[in-house]
Structure 1
Amino acid sequence: MGSSDPPADGPSLERLAAVFRVYEARREGDRLLYYGEPLVARDRLMETTWPLFRERGYEVQLTTDTGEYVLVAEPADTGIDGIPWTNVALFVLTILSTLWAGASWYHVDLVENPMGVLEAWPFMAAVVGVLLTHELGHYVMTRYHDVNASLPYFIPLPLSIIGTMGAVIRMKGQMPDRKALFDIGVAGPLAGLVATVVVTAIGLSLPPETVPQSLVNNPNAIQLEFGYPPLLELIAWALGEQTTYGPGQSVSPVVIGGWVGMFVTFLNLIPVGQLDGGHILRAMFGEQQERIAALVPVALFGLAAYVFYVENVSNASILWAFWGLLATYVAYVGPADPIDEAGLDPRRKAVGVLTFALGVLCFTPVPIEILAGA
C-alpha cells in the first residue's frame, strides 16, 4: 500500500478534494497514481483535475484497477525526442513514389531513361507541398495549444496515379477544450488550401503538356478524365487560363497537384468522427455533432447511387461507396472529446462556416473517370 500523501510534484489532495476523495497516492516509475472515489460525474471530474495535473507537467486519465478508481498521471511530452526516423523515411519514400508516379504524367519512358524520373519534380513538389502544408497546419496548432502530437507520417503508394495516399499526424495528448479542437481541426484545411491555390495558379500558368502521338493514336490507351471542382475553375477564370485542351495536349501535371489538394481538402472536411470536418463540427456544436455525423454515410451512399445511375460513372460510384463505409466506421468510433466543453466565440464559428463553404467549392461528384480505350 502507498501513502495517503501525494508525490511531491503532483497536485495536493486539497485541490482534488471537491471532486475526488483520495485514500492512496504513490509514484510508480514516472507515473503518479491517485486511488480514490469520484465525487462527481466523469466529465466534471476530468474538467477539474486535468488542468491541475497539466500545470505540473502531467497528462491524467481516470481508469479502474481491480475495481478501484485511479487517476493515472503520465509526463506530458509535447516535444520531439531525437530524430523522428520513421517520419523522415516515409517522407523520403513519398518523394520517390510521387516522382515515380509523376513520370507517367510527363510521359517519361523509365525503361530507356531511368534518370528521367527527375523530370517529374514539379509534380512531386506540387503534391507533396500541398499535403505537407496541410499537415503542418495541424501540427503548428498542436504546438500552440500544447497538445502532444506526432510529426506528419506520409504514406507512399508508388503504383497509384499520384504516388501517395496522403499524410497524417497522430494525436497523442488529450484535447483541453473546444477552442483547441477547432483551431487544430481547421488549421490543416485552411493552410492546405492556401498552398493549393498557389500550386493551381502556377500550374495553370505553365504551358500544357504534350501527349506523345503514339498515345493519342493508341486505341487501347486508358484515358483519365478529371472532374475539376468549382474552385479550380474559379482560379482559371481569374487568371484567364484554360483547363481543357484538344487532342495531343493536357494541363500541366502541376495542376493535378492542385486538384489533389482540393480533393484531399473536401475529403478531410467531411463532418464525421475524427476527420478535420468532424473536429470542426464537434467544436462548433458540441455533442450535437453526432446527430449530423449519423447522416453523413447516408449522404455518401446516396451520392454513390447518383453517380452510378445518373452520371453513369462506375469508378466514381465505387469511390463514394467506399467513403460511405469509411464514414460509417469513423462515426461509430466517435469524435474527439475535449476536457472543457465551453462553447466557441462567434469569430471561430464564422471561420468554421467559411471553411465548410470552401470545402464545398472543392467538391465535384465525379472527381476522376477512367475511360478505357476502344
Structure 2
Amino acid sequence: MAFTPRTATTFSPPVMEARRWLDGVDFTDRPLINVSQAAPVDPPPEALRQVIADAALNQAEAHLYGPVLGLPDLRAELAAQWAAAYDGEIGPENVGITSGCNQAFCAALSTLCAEGDEVLLPTPWYFNHKMWLDMTGVTAVPLATGDDLLPDPDAAAALITDRTRAIVLVSPNNPGGVEYPATLLRAMHDLARDHGLVLIVDETYRDFDARDGRPHELFTDANWGDHFIHLYSFSKAYRLTGHRVGALVTSPARLAQAEKFLDTVAICPNQLGQIAALWGMRNLAQWVGGERAEILDRRAAIEEHFPKLSDKGWRLLGCGAYFAYVEHPFALPSDDLAPALVREAGVLLLPGTMFMPGDDPSGARQLRIAFANVDRADIARLFDRLAGVSLPLAPPPDRA
C-alpha cells in the first residue's frame, strides 16, 4: 500500500504512540501516574456544561453551519478582553475563531508559507508545529536553546535566509514550561520585522502564567498586525478540549486569507464550543483564577520535590504552566527510557526525542513531565518513584 510522502515521512502523533507503551503492563498494585499529556481530564464546571446542554436543546442555529471566522459575539468578547489585558488596539476584525489552537497555527502558516519555505522553531519544539510544517513541505529550522530553554535572537538572526517566512514561539512554553521575558519577545519581534518576517506567538497557556500583568507589549504597536500573529486556545482555561475552540489574532488582511483555509478544512468552528467559550469568558474569570492558583501550586510542588531527583543527577531545565522539562542521568536514551519507566516505575511521560531533531543528542537526555492533571500527593509519589529507579547511569556530561 502506497502513502503520500507528506504523511509517510511525518512522525506519528507522540501522545498516541506513548499510550501504546501501556499495553501488557499491570498497574493493579501500583496505579499509573500519567504525566504524558497536558490536556485537562476533568469536564468543564457544571454551570458551563449546563450552558452547552441548554444550547444543544434550545438553540436550533447551534446545530447549523456558522460563520467561517466564528461567532461575532465571541470574536468581539475576545477582542475587548485582549485589548484591556494587553493595552492594545484589537477589534473583532482582528479575531478569527478556529477549531482549536492547532488549527489556528495551520491557518496562520497557510498565509505565510509555500513549499520549500522555512520557519524557525526553537528546540525543544512543540511536536504538532513540526508535524504540520513537515506535511506541508515547509522546512522547520531548529533554533537551539541553552540550559535556560530561551532562544537567543542573535542565534535566530544567523539562521535567517531568503526562504525564511516566520519565527514561532510558544510562551509559556510547551514542552519546556518557561515563560519568555517581554524583552525577549520584543527582540524576536524586532528581528522578524527587520527581515520582513512574521513572529507567531502561541499563548495557549497564558492563563497559567505565574507573572501578573501583560506578558508582552507587542499589541501596543500601532501596526502590530504587520509582523505579529497571536494564537490562543480556550481548551485549557475552560476544559473544552473536545469542543475544539481556539483563536487566531492578526491583521484583517491576513485573516481574510486565513478564512480561505478555514472554510476549506472545517467550514466553521464548533458552535456549541463557541457558545461555551463565550459564556466562560463572561462568567468564569474567578473560576479560571482558581484553576491558575491550583496549577501554580502544583508547579511549586514540582520545585519543592525536585531535590529528590537532583541528588541523583537529574536537572530541572524548565518549569511553568503545565510542564516541567528535565534532564535524566541514565545511560538509556530517553526514547528507550520512557517506555522503561512505565514498567519500572508506573510512570508515563514523554521523551525529549519527541521534541527534538533526530540528530540533536540532547533529546536523548531529556524528558517532559506534564503535571497539570496530578495533584500534590501524586507529585510527591511521582518523584519518589523516579528517585527509586535503578538503571545504569550515563557518564557525567561535559559542561565546559
TM-score, structure 2 normalization: 0.23
**Per residue, is there more helix in 1 or in 2?**
1
TM-score, structure 1 normalization: 0.24
Of structures 1 and 2, the one scoring higher in RCO (CA 8 A, sep 6+) is: 2
Larger Rg: 1
